Structure 1
C-alpha cells in the first residue's frame, strides 16, 4: 500500500514537473528567462522547455509595432511664442534581453526622449518655420529616437507630429498678416499688370510709327523710281528723236505738223460757240502736209499733188 502511494505521488510529481517545464510562447512574443537570478535565455514563439523552480520568467515583450502617444506639451519657439505640440511614435521591440536589462522602462524612456527632442528642435525654429517644417521635425525626432532606442533593443520606425496648437491671439495676428500680405500681392500684381499694359501699348505705338515710316519710305522710293523711269523714258525718247532728226531732216517738220494737226482736230471737235480758229497760210499748210507724207515715205519720191485746202473762215 505504501509503495502504491509512493508511486502515485511520484507520478503526480513528474506530471507537475513536466507541466511546469513546458512553456508555450505565443507568436510575436519574447520571454526573458533567468536561471538562479541570472539571464539564461530568451524564449520565442512555440514550445519551449525550462527547469521548474530553477528557471524563472523575468519579462515578456510583444514584438509587434507599438504606438507610443507623446502627450501635449508647451514649448517655446525661437521668436518666443509658446505653442502646444504632441506627437506619435511607432516602435517595434526586436531584442527582449536588451529591453529588459538596458533600460528600466522602455516606453516611458522613449516618450521622455521624444519630448526633450521636440523642445530642442522647436527652440531653434521660429513660429512660421515650425508650422511649415513638420517633415523636418519628424526626421529630427526619428533620428534621435532611433539612435537611442537601438541600444535598448527597439527600433523606432516612424515619428509623426500630430498637432501644433497656437494661441488664439497669435492666430489672429497671423490672419491679419496674411490678409495684409494678400492685399500687398494684389496691389503689386495690379501694378505689374498696368506696367505691362503700358509697355505693350507703347510698344504697339512704336511698331505702328515704325511701320508708317517704313510705308512712307517705300512710297517715296516708289515715286522716286517712277520719276526716274519717266525721266529715263523721256531721255531715251529725246535721244531717238535726235537720232531720227540727224538721219532725216524732215523729222522735225513731221513732229511739228503732227502736233498742229492734233491741236487743230481738238479745236474742230469742240462744240463751243465761242471758239476762234486762227487762219494758217495755204502754202505753209501744204508744206507741212508734204513733209508729213515724205516722212511717211508716201509716193515714189516726187511730190504728189495735194488737194487744195480751202481757207478756213472765221466762225
Structure 2
C-alpha cells in the first residue's frame, strides 16, 4: 500500500511538472520595446510584439529575442593609415537600432559583431582618403561618411545605424612631437601677428589723436582770431563812436562864448607840446624856420573854425 502511494505521489508530481513546463512553453510575455521571433517546426512563423502571447507547446519556439532600443557598441581601437602615410589608432563608439527583427535574425549572424567589423573596415577606408591634419579638423565629416556607408550596408540586416563617434585618435610619439612643434610655431606666429596688430592699432590711435589735436588747435586758433577780430571791430566802433561824441561836444563847446579862443589856445598848446616831445626823443631838434609860424598856424586854424561856423549859420537861415 505504501509503495502504491509513493508511486502515485511521484506520478502526481511528474504531472504537475509537465503542466508547468507546458504552461511555460505555451504562454510568453514579450517586454516593452522588444520583439520575439517564433519558429514553428524550425521555420519562421511570426514576430511577437510586446504583450502576452500563446504558443503551441513543442511546436512553436522562440528562436530569437531582440531589443528595439538604441544600442551602444564600443568599437575597439584599430590602426588606420592616413593619405599622407601616417599610422594612427582610432577608438570609436557605434549607435545602432534593430528596426526589423526578422532581418536581424536571418539576414546576418550576430549583427552586433557584423556592425562592429563593418565600422572598422569603413573607418580604415575613410581615413585612408584623408590627410592627418584633416582627421582632427573634419572629424564630424568623417563620422557622417562612416554612418552613411554603414547604414547603406546594414539595411539588409534590419539594422539602422544612428551615429558613429570617434572618441580618441592616438598618434605615434614622433608625430606628437612634430605636431607640438607645429602648434608652438603656430601660436608664436599668432602672437607675433597679434603684437603687430596691436602696435599698428596703437600707431593709428596715436596718429588719430595727433590729428584730432591739430584740428582742435586749428579750431581754437580760428576761434581766437575770430574773437580778436570781433574785439578789434568793436574797439574801432567804440573809438569811432567816442570820437564822434567828442567832436560833437567840441563843436558845441566852440559855439559857446570864448569857445574859439579856447580852441586856439588848445591848438597852440598841442603844437608846442609836439615840439617838446621831439626834443626829448631825438638827438637833433627840429625848429620851424620862423617862430612866427606857430602863431600863423593858430590863426589859420581859427579861420577854418570861423568858416565852418558861417556855413553852419547859413544852413540854419536857409532852413528857417
- Structure 2 length as normaliser, TM-score? 0.65
* Structure 1 residue 46 displacement after superposition: 5.2
Give yes or no for contact 1:25–1:44 (8 Å, CA) kept in 2.
no
- 1-side partners of 2:66 and 2:214: how far apart? 88
Q: Aligned match of 1:236 in 238, 241, 247?
A: 241
Give yes or no for contact 1:245–1:252 (8 Å, CA) kept in 2.
no
Q: Aligned match of 1:126 in 126, 131, 156?
A: 131
* Structure 1 residue 71 displacement after superposition: 1.7
SS of equivalent residue, structure 1 residue 177? helix
Q: Aligned match of 1:69 in 65, 74, 83?
A: 74
Give yes or no for contact 1:73–1:84 (8 Å, CA) kept in 2.
yes
Pairing 1:174–2:179 present: yes
- 2-side partners of 1:16 and 1:217: how far apart? 114
Pairing 1:101–2:124 present: no
- 2-side partners of 1:75 and 1:144: how far apart? 17
Report the CA distance shift for 1:229/1:39 in structure 2 as closer, same or farther (over 3 A): same
Report the CA distance shift for 1:222/1:257 in structure 2 as closer, same or farther (over 3 A): farther
Q: Aligned match of 1:22 in 22, 26, 29?
A: 26
Deviations 1:102-126, CA, capped at 9 Å, x for gaps: 2233112211221232223333433
Give yes or no for contact 1:24–1:45 (8 Å, CA) kept in 2.
no
- 1-side partners of 2:239 and 2:116: how far apart? 110
- 2-side partners of 1:198 and 1:81: how far apart? 46
Unmatched runs of 5 consecutive residues or more in structure 2: 1-7, 274-294, 296-320
Report the CA distance shift for 1:248/1:160 in structure 2 as closer, same or farther (over 3 A): same
Question: What is the match of residue 310 of structure 1?
Answer: none
Q: Aligned match of 2:140 in 135, 142, 146?
A: 135
Question: What is the match of residue 215 of structure 2?
Answer: 210
- 1-side partners of 2:264 and 2:106: how far apart? 140
Pairing 1:190–2:195 present: yes
* Structure 1 residue 76 displacement after superposition: 2.3
RMSD: 3.7
Deviations 1:124-180, CA, capped at 9 Å, x for gaps: 433233123333333333333334434322333433222111111111111111111
* Structure 1 residue 248 displacement after superposition: 5.9
Question: What is the match of residue 151 of structure 1?
Answer: 156
- Paired residues in the alignment total 257
Give yes or no for contact 2:26–2:57 (8 Å, CA) kept in 1.
no
- 1-side partners of 2:136 and 2:264: how far apart? 107
* Structure 1 residue 189 displacement after superposition: 1.6
Q: Aligned match of 1:225 in 219, 230, 240?
A: 230
Kindly indicate which of the two structures has a greater share of residues assigned to helix.
2
Pairing 1:201–2:206 present: yes
Unmatched runs of 5 consecutive residues or more in structure 1: 265-283, 285-315
- 2-side partners of 1:255 and 1:78: how far apart? 118
Give yes or no for contact 2:115–2:154 (8 Å, CA) kept in 1.
yes
* Structure 1 residue 211 displacement after superposition: 2.4
Deviations 1:276-296, CA, capped at 9 Å, x for gaps: xxxxxxxx9xxxxxxxxxxxx
Report the CA distance shift for 1:232/1:52 in structure 2 as closer, same or farther (over 3 A): closer
Question: What is the match of residue 272 of structure 1?
Answer: none
SS of equivalent residue, structure 2 residue 223? helix
